[in-house]
Structure 1
Amino acid sequence: MKSPLGTLCETAGTHDPEDVEHVTDIGLPEWPQYDGREREGLVRALEQGQWWRMGGGEVDAFEREFAEHEGAAHALAVTNGTHALELALQVLGIGSGDEVLVPAFTFISSSQAVQRLGAVAVPVDVDPGTYNLDAAAAAAAVGPRTRAIMPVHIAGQLADMDALAKLSADSGVPLVQDAAHAHGARWNGRRVGEFGTIAAYSFQNGKLMTAGEGGAVTFPDRDSYEEGFLRHSCGRPRDDRGYHHRTSGSNFRLNEFSAAVLRAQLSRLDEQIDTREQRAPVLDRLLAEIPGVLPQERDARADRVPHYMAMFRVPELAGERRDALVDALVARGVPAFVVFRAVYRTAAFWETGAPDATPEELAARCPNAEALTGDGIWLHHRTLLGTEDQVHRVAEIVADAVRSA
């Protein structure tokens, strides 16, 4: 199916900090971070003699440690975060003709995971302050074919899990949490794995913990975990010697080397979150003092936020002026990016599994996502791993760039 957007969305707003020359170094920490723990883990995986999960011990150990960290009954390590979402939806039985509610404002994997299973991704607007799925908009979008609701915890702040859990209970439609940004997050004292839903995580290179690529799915019960295990290993049971593939599936197995690195990454995650939790309020306060800058709001119930991003909006500098502002920040050493575009503003969204609507009709239903697409900016979380003086310097650079723009 040809995209109704034509070619416009293929080039607009594609600003990557690596493409900007003459970048100033203001001394922010590098990412990824590593030390002897990763080296020891890699050697341990190497010397055990078996490098895939069926013969080694690193993946099994990581799954136990990650499940405990996230408050889940079980965790399953997989190849990447997109596969984690696909697997989570498969375990819920999502398939052809089903509809899944997804935030209109999210990385494209959230909608593509739905669409690759033959289902329809239905974009729903987000809260204008937190940028998370709006529970009231989701309730209005639930229809007879809705089979799942996918909140995405943008920048590590959990969506309104109180309202969404009630919506799920009232409608009978299960939640599946896209927790790609939310390792270690809490909502009213509860971790992602403590809400009784399936959740999917990413360990891609820029994420809060990483092995370059990787992902995980957490499960609330043994049955769903076992279903996930079968499907992530081509439908083949652990002890199978006769190629008795019980379900459809694919090879989403994580290797032993990646798991060894992730175990080391997990060991320092909480300390890094503590640092970001100290720096984020400082940066938000400083950004809020800049005329025209609106930082992402924080719900008081989000009592621990890992801050995958520091996000803000510049409504008076939307579109190309916002893009130029991002380039100016990058040139001065700030790891800045334009935000995700609304999923319906991409050619990929319209290839398969799109709702029966035009981009403009979806934009009218999702005014907050539409506005964010044009005026949002995010800073990589390594910004919040710097010193408080560096955070002040970042805010000064943003203020100066906004004034110049």
Structure 2
Amino acid sequence: MNEHGAPMEFPNWPQFGDEERAGLLRALGQPGWWRMAGGEVDEFEREFAAYHGAAHALAVTNGTHALELGLEVLGVGPGTEVIVPAFTFFSSALAVQRLGAVAVPVDVDPDTYCLDRAATEAAITGRTRAVMPVHMAGQVADMDALGKLAAAAGIAIIQDAAHAHGARWHGRRVGELGSVAAFSFQNGKLMTAGEGGALVFADDDLYEAAFLRHSCGRPRDDRHYRHRTGGSNFRLNEFSAGVLRAQLGRLDEQTAVREQRWALLRTLLAEIPAVVPQGSDPRCDRNPHYMAMFRLPGIGEQRRNAVVDELVARGVPAFAAFRAIHRIAGFWERGAPDETPDEIAERCPVSEAISADCVWLHHRVLLGTQEQMHAVAGVLAEVLDSSPRR
């Protein structure tokens, strides 16, 4: 119980048990601890692909590398552009820029915080090679509209599914949507080995190209250092894969709990004046809820940050929303469009507003009890009542 009488001991994250211990011991007992000698990575890839309805999965070192590798096999490089949301974690743009391409920020939908269809269409040029929908907080972007745009323009889609393990769109899993998708297993993600990532593919050739490039260009059976392509070493180790196999086994039950808790918490938050929870698109019929997100419109970034600090002080694991990528110094080091930050802000007003007034709660909150959902809403209401808007 905190000082206000609210039970705020949320479940810990990461969660683990005998299954993760068994995975580590399996990896330890193998003849080798890298993927070319062991079997844990291979088994995890088969299980992860099957879970997401994909023909193939490729496990890699982290989610940023997953995006970079996926973009590379789709032909992204110098002289090309990739459309990314202006409101997203920096890695979405960073992966593009690391390949020498230009990351073009576009605005997001004010309800779902995912790529806006009209803004995406307006940003397509003759240099556009791909569009990167980010499934924000587990809410799948409008893949119907974006798929039609991409097909008409002859460009690729790469899904940033770092928040969307197990998500569904019209009953279809991420791997069944026909495009490459990249996942993250960083420590805070819905399943984790501390770090790690994966790509899923519907296309055999793209998968084979990615496999070569993730292993320094070497085929699986190479014994004579015949590197067929460039690339890098993005191989996942056997210990991480052993843990991830166990984490995957936990995902369905955790997702069911989070969906139930968000339905309650969203209703409670919406009853608080000046709080606007993230909306949902009914076509996303399974949302794993990586974050519980809500806006405090008009509050301003400084006051929003103070609210976050007060929530944390009262035992609620709260965070300020991502900074719009064009407001990040690192975005301008290379691969930025020929615009100023203010010019991008003018055409991305929703992203500007969300990054200044949005708060998110860690998904472990949604693994708590129904009583705790009421307690979270009560604490937020108290904090806002005691913090005049400026």
Aligning the two structures, in what range does the TM-score lie when normalised by the shorter sequence?
Answer: over 0.9
CA distance in 1, matches of 2:76, 2:310: 44
Is residue 2:388 matched to residue 1:399?
no
Question: Is 1:62 equivalent to 2:39 in the alignment?
Answer: no
User: What residue in structure 2 maps to residue 246 of structure 1?
Assistant: 228
1:148 alignment partner, one of 124, 130, 137: 130
Equivalent-residue separation in structure 2 for 1:404 and 1:248 (angstroms): 58
- Number of residue equivalences: 382
1:365 to 347, 361, 364: 347
> Equivalent of 2:9, from 20, 27, 49?
27
Cα distance between partner residues in 2 of 1:176 and 1:81: 13
Q: 1:292 aligns with which of 274, 278, 281?
A: 274
Q: 186, 192, 195: which one pairs with 2:168?
A: 186
Aligned alpha-carbon RMSD (Å): 0.8
For the pair 1:196 / 2:178, whether they are aligned, the reply is yes
Q: Which residue of 2 aligns with 1:6?
A: none
3-state DSSP class of the match of 2:236? coil
Q: CA deviation at 1:25?
A: 7.1
Give the conservation status (yes or no) of the 8 Å contact 1:129–1:296. Answer: yes
Q: CA deviation at 1:189?
A: 0.4
Which of 240, 246, 258 is the equivalent residue of 1:264?
246
- Distance in 2 of aligned mates of 1:330 and 1:116: 35
For 1:85, which of 67, 90, 115 is the aligned residue?
67
Q: What's the secondary structure of 1:245's corresponding residue? A: coil
Partner of 1:20: none
Classify the secondary structure of the residue corresponding to 2:298. helix
Q: Distance in 2 between matches of 1:48 and 1:348?
A: 41
**Which residue does the alignment assign to 2:198?**
216
Unaligned runs of 5+ in 2: 1-5
- Answering whether residue 331 of structure 2 is matched by residue 343 of structure 1, we say no
Distance across 2 between alignment mates of 1:221 and 1:316? 45
Superposed displacement of residue 197, structure 1: 0.5
Q: Which has the higher mean CA deviation after the structures are superposed, 298-307 or 24-33? A: 24-33
Q: Secondary structure at the match of 1:53?
A: coil
Partner of 1:110: 92
- For 1:85 and 1:126, how far apart are their aligned partners in 2? 20
Instruction: Give identity over the alignment, percent.
Output: 69
Superposed displacement of residue 151, structure 1: 0.2
Which amino acid letter does the alignment assign opposite residue 43 of structure 2? Answer: A
Q: What is the identity, as a one-letter code, of the residue corresponding to 1:283? A: L
Give the secondary structure class of the aligned counterpart of 2:274.
coil
2:357 to 375, 378, 393: 375
Q: Secondary structure at the match of 2:346?
A: helix
**3-state SS of the aligned residue for 1:378?**
strand
* Contact 2:326–2:344, Cα closer than 8 Å, also in 1: yes
Of 210, 230, 255, the residue aligned with 1:273 is: 255
Does the CA contact (< 8 Å) of 1:25 and 1:332 recur in 2? no
Q: CA offsets, 1:207-266, max 9 Å, x none?
A: 000000000001112111100000000011111111111111000000000000000000
2:216 to 226, 234, 239: 234
The answer to whether structure 1 residue 311 and structure 2 residue 293 are counterparts is: yes
1:130 to 104, 112, 116: 112
Measured in 1, the distance between the counterparts of 2:210 and 2:180 equals 10
Deviation at 1:316, TM superposition (A): 3.1
After TM superposition, the score normalised by the length of structure 2 is: 0.97
Matched residue type, 1:71: G
Greater RCO (Cα-Cα under 8 Å, separation 6 or more): 1
Is the aligned partner of 1:40 residue 2:14?
no
Q: CA–CA distance in 1 between the matches of 2:384 and 2:255? A: 28
Contact map agreement 1:100 1:122 (CA 8 A) in 2: yes
Aligned to 2:3: none
Asked whether the 8 Å contact 2:7–2:375 carries over to 1, the reply is no
Letter in 2 for 1:135: R
Deviation at 1:26, TM superposition (A): 1.2
Question: What letter is aligned with 1:67?
Answer: A
| AA of the residue aligned to 1:43 | L
- What code does the residue aligned with 1:63 have? E
* Corresponding position of 2:121: 139
Structure 1 residue corresponding to 2:188, chosen from 188, 201, 206 = 206
The answer to whether the aligner puts 1:52 opposite 2:41 as a matched pair is no
Normalised to the residue count of structure 1, the TM-score between the two structures is 0.94
